[in-house]
Amino acid sequence: MTAQNTRLGILLMIAVTIVFAGQDAISRHLAEHYSILMVVMIRYWFFAVFVLVLAARKAGGLRRAAATSQPLLQIFRGVLLAAEVCVMVLAFVVMGLAASHAVFAAYPLIIAALSGPILGERVGWRRWTAIAIGFAGILIILQPGSGTLRIEALIPLAAAAMFAVYGLLTRYAARRDSAAVSFFWTGTAGAVAITIVGIWAWEPMAQSDWGWMALLCCTAALGHWLLIKALEVAEAAAIQPFAYLQLVWASGLGLFLFDETLTPNLVLGAAVVVAAGMFTLWRSREGGTK
């Protein structure tokens, strides 16, 4: 992997975070007026079409993309991610973009903590220390004992845990399936699952909001396309730390579009969580278990 490719991968990853932050803002806007299940369902329909088109264009077509020896695992992954998206959009509505992303930033720490029981990996004392420090950052955000603890913060924390398990199951599935196969099942299984529950939440949508819905679908497809391209030109470990920029962009959108506030404890706690998460990513990249 050349340095130029790594730089391109970083630029693409930054673009991914900008697009996904915009997607989160649109999701919050729509979910404040319509059923979260319906909003996520329509978004997943477009995502599933995007996945099917990509699979059909590759050698072997849909048959090869769907070929897996672990269908139950792949289906569970897809369903879990769809559920996580619903929970995270709920967090946007209840807590706002900035606070939700500050708490959600703990997901790499949860991945590190669960990599032992799920993948059988050894987690050494350095990463356990980083995990503890990261969750201390969560406590700074939540301010327990101050009388301002928000139980709603458990919503983005639950989303982070769900996304962490999804990530670990993706790594587990990768032992036998290619990334293309996992991506196919992520889109299709998720779309089927959210449709089964979301179709009952259908409600009329204003014509102007259909424009926002179309933009949401486009940002979802564009974001995943940019992410695929980023991973094609650079190693995941080299570009993953830049994913934290989504917290910055989402916080800015929350501040200027939704009149959210960045309290000192939120900024400090988010900084601690991000620092701890970047350390765990660095240790994983270096192959360290201590």
Listed by start position, the domains of the chain span: 3-286
Rounded Cα distance, 290 and 287, in Å: 9
Q: CB 233: neighbour CB atoms within 10 A?
A: 18
In DSSP notation, 84-126 reads: HHHHHHHHHHHH-HHHHHHHHTTHHHHHHHHHHHHH-----HH
Per-residue model confidence as pLDDT tens digits over 80-109: 999 999 999 999 999 899 889 888 888 888
DSSP tag of 37: H
**Residue in the structure block whose two tokens are 């400090």:** 268
Q: Do 25 and 223 contact (CB within 8 A), yes or no?
A: no
pLDDT at 199: 96
**Residue in the structure block whose two tokens are 């995941």:** 236
SS3 call for 177: coil
Read off the tokens for 57: 């264009």
Q: Do 12 and 235 contact (CB within 8 A), yes or no?
A: no
Residue 190: pLDDT band by 50, 70, 90 thresholds? very high
pLDDT at 177: 87
The fraction of the chain above a pLDDT of 70, given in percent, is 88
For the entire predicted model, the pTM comes to 0.86
Least confident of 10-14, 47-51, 181-185, 238-242: 238-242
| pLDDT of residue 290 exceeding 70 | no
Rounded Cα distance, 187 and 49, in Å: 8
